[in-house]
Amino acid sequence: MPLGSRTLFRVTTETRHMDSTSPAGRTPTKAAVAFAVYVSVLTAAYYYNLTFIQLGLTDLGLERLGLSPERVAVGMGVLALVTLCTTLVSGYLMDRLGVGANPLSKFRVLFGIVVLQVATTYAVTAVTSFEQFLTWIALCSLLLGTAIPFAFSLLLDLVRPGIRGYAAGAVAGCAFFLAALFPFEWTIESFVPSAVAVLAPVALLLGVLSVPSIGDWVSGSRTDDSPGRQPVGVTQSGMLTAAFVGGVVLLFGAFFVDSLGFVRIIESEYVEASWQSSELGTRLLIAMTHVIGGLAAGVAYAKLRYHWLFVATFVLFAAAQFLYVYDAAVGGPAALAAVRPLLYVLAVSCYTTVAFALWPDLATPDRVGTYTAVGIGIGGWLATFTSTAAALVSERAEIALEVHLFIVGSVSVAFLLITGVLMYRAVQTA
């Protein structure tokens, strides 16, 4: 795949100068292997979340179990709440116990979690009632919440600061590429084998990395323990820095408007001509756009303030959502049918890249668990599943699609203005 070859080439070429002055053993090969390990583990984890968790559980509740949208919304709310609380506790304990500076311990914890996730994914087919649905969700949430700080913080252990944006962009591109193509049918029966097929090799990889000699060799590619992104005017004395708080607010907005709009779009006829198209070419176009978007976002993150990626995110979201409104209300030109989902795809690639890169990039090993837990727990999980629940309620209330998406587009514009204010303040304090 061009994505992998270009990324590994950049890792190899950019680490040559670094290795001439760094401790012995930190070779370009080791840096490339560490980069590939990070991308592989996070791609599998995010693919599992995108497909099996976000789409599969909704299908399980609505179609297989025949639950009402309100009950499914309750289940998604439980998922959000338990995952958030578990993530915060996991991140705090990771820092308190000093695991943030111990990659080998992270490999071992993640190995155990992924093995359990494979088992619980198989077990979901035995769920037959609302009570079992909630029980399974609670167990799944505990595993997800525990894993988040350990998985996301691997960026600090395996990828040096100068190329973390490229690593995050590679994860975004690869995860969405797979999600756009597999499974072809969005049913729980299809999501289960696809999720297991992606998680099982990563479980094996993490098992190998849990061997001290191998895990220490791979994680030895890190060159220092300093944050990779520390804007002028932002101190390291506490967590509540301008860069951190601004990142949480903007990431919450991006995840929120994404899910709030997408959940309604995939329940409409529009999805049949895009994400669930019967034409492989259409899905492949969406998949490749994700890869291109991830690569571009990785470059932008490495070169610019992260605010610019949120500017792009909210502009693209608003444009896509208002184009859907225009078509639903009055009927737009047929040429726009292919444009709308691609704008959505590019927006997702932009903010997802920031989601992977920013928290480890702002943190040091002794605080990376807390940074990641708050950033992803509140900015990601809380936003995603509260907005998913809200979208299900909107659908149940029979709010017209064009009205719903007009509201979502307006929220995107509001967050665009917030991004502008936060970026202005960051520039003024620089």
Res 8 pLDDT > 50: no
Q: What is the mean pLDDT of residues 286-307?
A: 94
Return d(Cα 157, Cα 356) in angstroms, integer: 14
Which of the four pLDDT bands, split at 50, 70 and 90, describes residue 162?
Answer: confident
Phi, psi of 80 (to 5 degrees): -65, -45
Tell me which residue range forms the domain holding 255: 2-429
Whether the pLDDT of residue 223 is over 80: the answer is no
Is the C-alpha dihedral spanning 273, 278, 282, 284 positive or negative? positive
Average pLDDT, the chain: 87
What is the per-residue pLDDT for 410?
Answer: 97
Domain count, the chain: 1
pLDDT in tens, 323-335: 999 999 888 788 8
Joined together, the tokens standing for residue 341 give: 């989902």
pTM recorded for the entire structure: 0.87
Distances (CA, A) of 379 to 51, 138, 201, 209: 19, 20, 29, 30
The CATH number of the domain holding residue 276 is 1.20.1250.20
Rounded CA gap, 28 and 295, in Å? Answer: 21
* Phi-psi region at 85: left, alpha or beta (left = phi > 0; alpha = psi -120 to 50): alpha
Structure tokens at 257: 């408007």
Helices 307-330, 242-265: axis angle to 10 degrees equals 20
Burial code (b: 16+ CB inside 10 Å, e: under 16) for 109-143 equals bbbbbbbbbbeebeebeebeebeebbebbbebbbb
pLDDT tens, residue by residue, 60-104:
999 999 998 889 888 888 888 899 999 999 999 999 998 888 999
Q: Please give the average per-residue pLDDT across 225-235, as a whole number.
A: 43
- CA 418 from centroid of its chain's CA atoms: 22
pLDDT in tens, 357-395: 998 888 888 888 999 999 998 898 888 878 877 888 888
Reported as half-sphere exposure (CB side, CA atoms, 13 A), residue 82 has a value of 17
pLDDT at 232 over 60: no
What's the pLDDT at 384? 83
pLDDT at 387: 87
Counting other chains too, the contacts that 242-246 makes at CB distance below 8 Å and 24 or more residues apart are: 242/422, 242/425, 242/426, 242/429, 243/306, 243/358, 243/362, 243/426, 244/362, 244/371, 244/374, 244/375, 246/307, 246/422, 246/426
Q: Are 355 and 80 in contact (CB under 8 A)?
A: no
pLDDT at 234 over 50: no
pLDDT of 24 > 50? The answer is no
